[in-house]
Each structure stands twice: as C-alpha cells, then as structure tokens.
Amino acid sequence: MTAQSKTLLTIITEVALENSLIDDFKRLGVTGYTIVEARGLGTHGLRTGNWRKEGNIRIDIVADSDQCARIVEHLRSAYDRDYGLLMYSCPIDLHV
C-alpha cells in the first residue's frame, strides 16, 4: 500500500447550493467528492434539516493543496457573501 500526500477540503453550506457547487466542481476539475446532509448549531443559527430547503450539506474533497486553494477562492468569491459557507482543510495521507 502506497501513501500519497493530499489535502482534505471540507465545505459546509446550505443545501440550496448543491447543484451549483457540483457544476463548479466539474469546471474546476474535481474528480470526486462526497456529499452528506448535516445538522447542527453555529454562527448561522440552528440547522435542523427538518425541511430539505433549510438544511445543510457537508462536502469532502480530496485533492492536491493547490487545487483545494483554487476551489476555496472560487467558492469565497461566488457564494460567501450571500450564503452560509464554512470551509476548512487539513493535510492527509491517502492510502491507495
């Protein structure tokens, strides 16, 4: 088993952005992502997910650090002003 150094980018945002983000990821060359529903409490208030339109999603992308930086920059400029958007990343060892 070989380990590759990669970056895990996690994005937590409103479910309303899901389709737009998927289109953005395709244009940005993202080859894979995982999307799951998310609930919790944060600076944007309580997100119960009781109604599909008010819920949050968490997206995980594994890529090189430069690509993750490009994704973050694009999402900040396109969505951060009008939508709840939290992004964080960390280095990982991907075992393939």
Which CATH number characterizes residue 30's domain? 3.30.70.120
What is the per-residue pLDDT for 20?
Answer: 97
pLDDT (mean) for 40-65? 75
* 27: pLDDT strictly greater than 90: yes
pLDDT (mean) for 44-70? 80
4-17 pLDDT tens trace:
999 999 999 999 99
Q: How confident is the model at residue 76 (pLDDT cuts 50, 70, 90)?
A: very high
What is the per-residue pLDDT for 72?
Answer: 98
11, 85 Cβ separation under 8 angstroms: yes
Percentage of the chain beyond pLDDT 90 is 77
Domain interval for residue 14:
3-95
What is the per-residue pLDDT for 85?
Answer: 93
Task: List C-alpha distances in Å: 16 to 7, 9, 12, 35, 52.
Answer: 26, 20, 12, 13, 9
Cα 81 to chain centroid, rounded: 16
Q: Give how many domains the chain has, as a whole number.
A: 1
What is the per-residue pLDDT for 52?
Answer: 54
| CA 24/CA 10 separation, integer angstroms | 15
